[in-house]
Chain A
Amino acid sequence: MQKELKEQSTKPELLAMLKNVLENSSMAKGDGWAASK
């Protein structure tokens, strides 16, 4: 499955970068959120 970018974004690469930051950082204290990454 692909993570879809929203079409209305004017700068899809920036949106993808933001999502990457959010995805990677959304787990505090080393707990289970991203358990299988």
Chain B
Amino acid sequence: MYVLSDELLFRVEKNGGILINKNNFSRLELSESESIFLSLVKEMGKEKAFNEYIKYFNADSLTKILREKIYKKGEIEEKEVSSFSIINKIQSKIKELKKLNQMSFPLELVIYPSMYCNLHCGFCFLANREDENVHLADDWKKILSQAKENGILSFSILGGEPTKYKDIDNLLKIIDSLKVVTTITTNGQEIKKSTIDIICQSDYITPVISLESIDDFKNFELMGTRAKRGIELIKLFHERKKKVRLNTVYSNQSEEDIMELLKFAIKNEIDRFSIADYSEVTGFTKITKIYNISDLRKLEEKVRRYLLDNKIDNFNFSVEGCFYFTAFPELIEEGKNLSEFENMYFGCRAKHTKMEILSNGDVLPCIAFLGEKHTFNAFHQTLAEIWKNDSNYTEVREFKTENKDCLKCSMLRICEGGCYPKLQRTLNPNFTKDKTCQL
């Protein structure tokens, strides 16, 4: 019998469906017919699914999906479900998602097991880094298991400082057993040996070390601590042959600071070096913003040039941030050619793809909603219910810009005027264009 490969995540979506490779996130968009077929494959294997499918539909609609290298030999414990009822269920689900105009479930779940942090970085978006509301890992297990059952693609553990969360080792063990790709972002100052060991042994958890500069004085200015421990932790993971990432927030470092970090990252074979746009969106950050998205593009070009000049291939470098595409006016016109799924996938994550859960269980579509009212709690309601009904989600999904420039822009469906919580703080949200936009 042929079944769907384990490395693929299959989800029914409003466009039909999606297959995502869990290891490299490459994607294949599916039509409604293909999604119905793969739903049958999940229940009864490829051969029987085909025989059932052609009882109701024309086999021509499966030409492409039958040829894809997405199957493997395996066994399925068949349940007593009729193919007719499966087909009906999938058709109804697609119809409902179309009506709601949303993805079936978030793709990424960000959790903050504790808001406590041992540092006070000036670029941090949190208002309060103390915490008395922590839940034990077993409580999180219920939430994370639900996410897995509903088709989550990745977990991200943030904080506060997650390695200072009192039940971090058990939480990491639970995540490892769920086999969902996960990152844990840490300042690396006081991480326990047991935590390092669990991370090193996991095939699913990747550490991301926050470091702002190799220079001790600069790092102290931005993070309140010298660079030494972060550097040592990266070297330790490297020595233990564990892939490790480096993340830097581009707040007020010089280009030289970033280039020194880059050289360090190359030398230590960092798995991915990311530079994030410094966002002041929560209003709780302390460093004055001096760079915009176009400055970030210039920085990226300098880094790419360095990699090219030094013939360094395959180094994983990325610049991250909402609306970064607006620094590329020469490409914007092509926005009209993005597919329905890509408009969601690349669009506002708060609207389409992300859920964030604070230590007390409060749910936010994105950390930018930190100052907004939180009406749902993941320890009390199901994630599926929250995804569908939380007013923060429904409001951001329903928001339509009326700004004249935005209405003419080819990226309208991706952007819709900009960051929703930020626009809500202006006098006239529907007519305001997000100042991050460089167009």
A residues lining the B interface (CB < 8 Å): 1-4, 6, 8-9, 11, 14-15, 17-19, 21-37
A residues within 8 A CB of B331? 14, 17-18, 21
Question: Is B29 touching A6 in the complex (CB atoms < 8 A)?
Answer: no
Q: Which residues of A contact B367 (CB under 8 A)?
A: 29
Contact B22 A36, beta carbon cutoff 8 Å? yes
Distance, CA A9 to CA B67, complexed state (A) = 25
Judge if B37 is at the interface, Cβ distance under 8 Å: no
Residues of chain A lying within 8 A (CB to CB) of residue B177:
none
- Of residues 324 through 381 on chain B, the ones whose CB sits less than 8 Å from some CB of chain A are 324-325, 328, 330-335, 337-339, 342, 345-346, 349, 353-354, 367
**Best-surrounded residue of B156, B185, B331, B333 (most CB of chain A within 10 A):** B331
- From B182, B249, B346, A23 is in contact (CB under 8 Å) with B346
CA distance A19 to B324 in the complex (A): 12
Contact of A19 among B29, B125, B158, B342 (CB under 8 A): B342
Q: How far is A23 from B25 in the complex, measured between Cα atoms in Å?
A: 10
Closest chain A CB from B122 CB (angstroms): 15
Stretch at the interface among B135-143, B261-269, B271-279: B271-279
| Residue pair A27, B274 in contact (C-beta under 8 Å) | yes
- Nearest B residue (CB) for A14: B334
Q: Does A29 contact B276, Cβ atoms closer than 8 Å?
A: yes
User: Told that A18-B325, A34-B25 touch, could you supply 10 new A-B pairs with CB distance under 8 A?
Assistant: A1-B27, A3-B27, A8-B337, A9-B337, A25-B324, A30-B185, A31-B108, A32-B108, A32-B109, A34-B272
Instruction: Answer whether A37 and B154 are a contact pair too, CB < 8 Å, given A29-B276, A30-B210.
Output: no
Q: Are A32 and B335 in contact (CB under 8 A)?
A: no
Give the CA-CA distance A4 to B29 in the complex, in Å.
Answer: 9
Closest A residue by C-beta to B366 = A28
- Chain A contacts for B390, CB-based, 8 A: none
Near A by CB (< 8 A), chain B positions 304-342 give: 316, 318-322, 324-325, 328, 330-335, 337-339, 342
CB within 8 Å for A28 and B321 given contacts A11-B334, A14-B331, A33-B349: yes
Contact B335 A24 (CB under 8 A): no
Hey, which chain A residues are within 8 Å of B334, CB to CB? 9, 11, 14-15, 17-18
Q: Is the CB of A27 within 8 A of B19?
A: no
Q: Which of A14, A22, A35 contacts B156 (CB 8 A)?
A: A35
A1 to B68: give the CA distance in the assembly, Å: 8
Interface size class of B (residues with CB under 8 A): 35 or more
* B430 at the binding interface (Cβ < 8 Å): no
Q: Indicate the member of A3, A9, A21 with the most B CB atoms within 10 Å.
A: A21
| Known interface pairs A9-B334, A35-B156, A37-B24; A30-B276 also in contact (CB < 8 Å) | yes
Q: How far is the CB of A16 from chain B (nearest CB, A)?
A: 9
14 contacts between A and B (CB under 8 A): A1-B70, A3-B26, A6-B339, A8-B337, A9-B337, A15-B334, A18-B331, A26-B320, A26-B349, A30-B245, A32-B155, A34-B272, A34-B318, A37-B316
Assembly CA distance A20 to B26 (angstroms): 12
- The listed residue (A9, A22, A36) touching B325 by CB distance below 8 A is A22
Contact B276 A21 (CB under 8 A): no
Tell me which of A1, A4, A21, A28 has the highest count of chain B C-beta atoms within 10 A of its own C-beta: A28
From A4, A6, A25, A30, B208 is in contact (CB under 8 Å) with A30
B21 at the interface (CB under 8 A from A): yes
| Chain A CB within 8 A of B4 CB | no
List B202-225 residues whose CB lies under 8 Å from chain A. Answer: 206, 208, 210
The residue among A22, A30, A33 with the most chain B CB atoms within 10 A of its own CB is A30
Given contacts A19-B342, A30-B210, A32-B181, contact A25 B321 (CB under 8 A): yes
In the assembled complex, the CB of A24 is this many whole angstroms from the nearest CB of chain B, namely 5
Contact between chains at A36 and B23 (CB < 8 Å): yes
Q: Which A-B residue pairs are the 7 nearest by beta carbons? A: A32-B156, A30-B247, A31-B156, A25-B324, A32-B154, A22-B346, A18-B331
B110 at the interface (CB under 8 A from A): yes
Who on chain B is nearest to A8 by CB?
B337
B128-166: which residues lie under 8 A (CB-CB) from chain A? 154-156, 158
A21 partner residues in chain B, CB cutoff 8 A: 324-325, 328, 331
